[in-house]
Structure 1
């Protein structure tokens, strides 16, 4: 196995992290050594964020100098139904799952079952990228660091919106049809599909399904007793937070769980759910390099801890990072984002699924960190909490408040150049005659079939494997727009038809709002008409 030289910065940080972490008491923590003034300051941050953003529920846990000093929850599992969020309430942590997937892989490396520089095809012989040379060169490590050359979010329509019927086998087969927009390993563009492949690599190397391995190698050794992955019973587990969106000035639950929660295709990229108490224990395990598992053995070797936090792929430092945190560098490790904030290393990640937001931030040189879980629309709230809590822990003399950063984000959003979405309010449903010769069944090589067929006096687009991707085709000026029927699909699409010289009809899609979530990967779709409407 080839090893890169060790980073002096990370060696120094690992040397600093020495003493074991104190355990968290039940509910609101008043841990020995916790400072009352500090606790009151975080209370103000908590209350201000809850009020400013009218959140349905919020949970925050803080570790300072290796000690759990703060755990607090507020709000409801489902807005208006009265069941309070507790430290044991289970939230979707979304892409914070990625650091758990990479920890699982690191455990397999420690066990000698896997190497970071192994070719992916050693474990998955059917794995193919669009270009043969990339298939040959793709290593396990490349699955984790967003350097594939694919567009950000490429193929995510096979994962979201849920529910859908795409399988991991569909993703393995579909990858070869996703065309790169950049050269392999040339730049950072966030992806989810390759984390699904990483989960399959773990399964092949570990000899068990991904979900089984994650429980065995991560949840159980660290005592994360409320964390869930795969199939489980909502009522048997209990205390499960539901996602919410803002509608008509209030919080409305969406995509509510049924009695039985099924394993999903996207589990290795974003399928874990955990409680605040578990997530506080999770950050504690990273701030304590000597942490032993439940069996008394080291949970992860120093070598693998260092590898997971080694900068792998350079990221762009945003204007906001430079101004707010005086950040000089940003990079992606294995399932973690790495940067400097006020001169110190910051290790973090976010998680976003519709109506659920999570945040994990570690400041290793202070042996401190925090976790934020929210069951509502909270992109700005999460950004503000990350900044204010990072300053509270890393630069306590700073006096900037939730209001200061919330106001700054509102000014940013209100700037003339901030919103690039066109006005599509004047829209009319088209008649079937408008698309004469273009109605029919279409097929994309990775996404599968979709129909563009008459329904009553209008025309509807319906994706066969993703039932929420169905809606009416509308006219907006000279363009055609897809008006999705499901409220959960919040990024509309332009439709463009083309007819070749031989009469073949094709269909492409593009986001109406260029700044919409990149997981609405319309731009990688290339439909060809294959038949008439049923």
Structure 2
């Protein structure tokens, strides 16, 4: 599937919000909410916050720290015993802080929402089957499920759903009347639609489902409301009715907690910061001698980015309705330059060059892969003999059937793909929903010469014994 660093483009519609010295100095919508329709984006149009939601979940946890209900260093098993990891030691040592800084040693597990629909508790149970990608606290790999765990702990400590808690403790207090914890809770129809480039044409696509891991990225908001959140966070969590967090808790959230690698964001190749850290729900780096706090958000067809320069009391929020349109980075750094730092770099040219290079590298990898195809081969078996029900205790079910000269795979009644022969027992998979991209998969034969294993994108399924 296409990596985020290989995508680029401008939005059909986007919205830019800038806050300086506790005042909104710029907010405007551009373009349309949906291609082919006339409704334009304005400051009240709702967009997906996606993973910029994580900072809000952290703030909720900070409130519970202030109330003495939990500590950052508390063990997770104390509150969420069903979350079991591959290494029993890590299960016992895992802290609330670890949930929020992507250092658990567990690699990405977005397959829990990308190829299946299961309750959060079942995700936590299956985490025991996920082998670590690196040693505990010895690296950084982005982890949405851990933020889901944080949300579940918030629910247990408050006795309310995460969506209710964030509504009452952040949105209601700050007067964010239009903001919704999940898309299905949106009131009104001034809402953008997601877009994706399919066969070189930008098209409207379906909304993704309201995820079980909402505390990792489910909030929808507009410019008018998000200005209140930005001002609050820049002003040590103060608002008209008091403050959300104690000063020391607010400071802890923005204190560097761990390092993130340069390859996490291709933009670091151009920025070349002296340091790169992750706070509690915030990426951080230096730029022109100033500390930047920022975070991106990405759902299928929807994009967000927020950034701060605390020393300058400057904050920016950018929302878009096109998949991984990396011009969001251009707009953020240009905002920093224009409103505070006086730099005149042509970020558009620099980032366009960067992402064009990455796109060309992606095309080269694709061409290299294509060149490795061995022509004039055939599958080891007649197609019908690959059919059957395959199962993985981690990834669920993969039902394989044959339709004419093609194999069809249905994963968990959620993700469907048609397979065409590539070479030997390897097949090219085209997903029913084009925005899921393309990939390759393969069948493996057992000692009896029969197909007994199906592998797609590293996910391995064993054929059920009749």
Common fold, TM-score beyond 0.5?
yes
Q: Could you tell me which residue of structure 2 aligns to residue 142 of structure 1? A: 98
Whether 1:375 and 2:331 are equivalent positions in the alignment is no
Alignment check: 8 A CA contact 2:183 2:219 kept: no
TM superposition outliers: structure 1 runs of 4+ over 6 Å: 425-432, 501-504
- Aligned residues of 2:60 and 2:154 also touching (Cα < 8 A): yes
Aligned position for 2:3:
none
Contact 2:267 2:351 in 1 (8 A): no
Q: Please say if 1:205 is aligned against 2:157.
A: yes
1:499 correspondence with 2:433? no
> 1:345 maps to which residue?
291
Seen in structure 2, the aligned counterparts of structure 1 residues 94 and 322 have a Cα distance that, compared at 3 Å, is closer
C-alpha separation between the residues in 1 aligned to 2:446 and 2:118? 29
* Match in the other structure for 1:307: 252
Instruction: Answer yes or no: is the 8 Å Cα contact 1:481–1:494 preserved in 2.
Output: yes
8 Å contact from structure 1 (residues 96, 358) kept in 2: yes
Correspondence for 2:27 among 71, 84, 87: 71
2:433 — aligned with what? 486
Q: TM-score, normalised by structure 1?
A: 0.78
SS at match of 1:134: helix
Secondary structure of the 1:144 match is helix
Q: For each residue in 1:232-253, what CA deviation from the matched residue of structure 2 results, as whole angstroms up to 9, or x when unmatched?
A: 455x422011111134655321
Structure 1 unaligned segments of length 5 or more: list them.
Answer: 1-51, 511-522
Structure-2 residue corresponding to 1:458? 406
Counterpart selection for 1:133 from 89, 92, 95: 89
CA distance in 1, matches of 2:163, 2:42: 26
**Relative to 1, partners in 2 of residues 1:254 and 1:428: Cα closer, same or farther, differing over 3 Å?**
farther
> What secondary structure does 1:188 align onto?
coil
Equivalent of 1:118, from 71, 74, 77? 74
Deviations 1:163-198 (Å, cap 9, x if unpaired)? x53211221111111111211111001111111111
* Alignment counterpart, residue 170 of structure 2, candidates 203, 207, 218: 218
Q: Secondary structure at the match of 2:435?
A: coil
Instruction: Map residues 314-353 of structure 1 onto 2, 5 A cutoff.
Output: 314-317=259-262, 324-353=270-299
Please name the residue that 2:350 is paired with.
405
Mark the runs of 5 or more structure 2 residues left unpaired by the alignment. Answer: 1-7
Partner of 2:54: 98
Alpha-carbon separation, structure 2, partners of 1:54 and 1:69: 24
1:193-220 per-residue CA deviation (whole Å, 9 max, x = no partner) reads 1111111111111211111111112211
Residue 263 of structure 1 deviates from its aligned partner by: 4.4
- Render the CA deviation track for 1:77-108: whole Å, top value 9, x for unaligned: 11121111111111011111111111111111
Residue by residue over 1:427-446, the C-alpha shift from the partner in whole angstroms, topping out at 9 and shown as x without a partner, is: 99988953465421111112
Indicate conservation of the 8 Å contact 2:10/2:322, yes or no. no
Deviation at 1:133, TM superposition (A): 0.7
C-alpha offsets along residues 405-430 of structure 1, whole Å, 9 cap, x if unaligned?
A: 24422552365587423455999998
Change (3 A) 1:438 1:310: same
Aligned equivalent of 1:391: 337
**What is the CA deviation profile of residues 502-530 of structure 1, one whole-angstrom value per residue up to 9, with x for unaligned ones?**
978223223xxxxxxxxxxxx2x221111
- Matched position secondary structure for 1:461: strand
Check 1:416–1:88 CA distance in 2 against 1; reply closer, same or farther (3 A cut).
closer
Do the aligned residues in 2 keep the contact of 1:59 with 1:74 (CA within 8 Å)? Answer: yes
